[in-house]
Amino acid sequence: MIALADYELIAIKPGILIIKVENEELKIRIFPIPIHVIKSGENYSVQVNAVISVDTNIPKFGEQCSPQNIMLHRGVVPKEVNVVRKPEVEINVEGKGISVYLEITNLVVYPDLRDSGGSPCVMISWSSFQTVK
C-alpha cells in the first residue's frame, strides 16, 4: 500500500553555485524543500521542490522575470560553474534519517530579464538522490 508519511525537518543545507555569464558573476543559492514523503512497504520516496536566490555583482534593471517572458527571450549557458556546495535536505521519517541531495543537470541564465533586486532570471533543472540512514 502506498501512503503519505509524516516527517520532521532536520536541516536544509542550501547549495551554492558561483557562475559567470558575460561580464557578470552570480551567486546562486538553492534551497531544497521536502513536499511529500511517500511510503510503500518499507521504502520511502521524498518529493522535493527547490527555491533559488540569485545575487549579482552588477545589479541592473530589466524586463521582469516571468514564465511568459522566458519563452520570448534566449537563455545563456554560463561560461563557468563552480559548485561550492550541493543542495541537501535532511528529514526524519518514523525514526529513520533520510538525506536528499540535488544534482544540478541544467542551468540557463536570462541576462535581459531581471528580478526585483536587479539579478538576472535563472532557470535550474535537477535530479534528486536520497540515502536512508
- Could you tell me the pTM of the whole model? 0.91
Average predicted confidence (pLDDT) for the chain? 95
pLDDT at 1 over 90: no
pLDDT tens-digit readout, 30-76:
999 999 999 999 899 999 999 999 999 999 999 999 989 999 999 99
Choice between 133 and 56, residue whose per-residue pLDDT is larger: 56
- pLDDT at position 75 is 94
- Per-residue pLDDT band for 129 (boundaries 50, 70, 90) equals very high
Residue 8 to residue 23: CA distance in whole angstroms:
42
- pLDDT at position 2 is 84
Q: What is the 3-state secondary structure (H, E, C) of 7-43?
A: CEEEEEECEEEEEEECCEEEEEEEEEEEEEEEEECCE
- pLDDT at position 133 is 85
Residues 104-120 have a mean pLDDT of 96
Residue 103 to residue 89: CA distance in whole angstroms:
12
pLDDT at 101 over 80: yes
pLDDT at 10 over 90: yes
- pLDDT at position 98 is 98
Q: Which three cell numbers stand for residue 132?
A: 536512508
- pLDDT at position 130 is 96
Helix (H) or strand (E) holding 105: strand 96-114
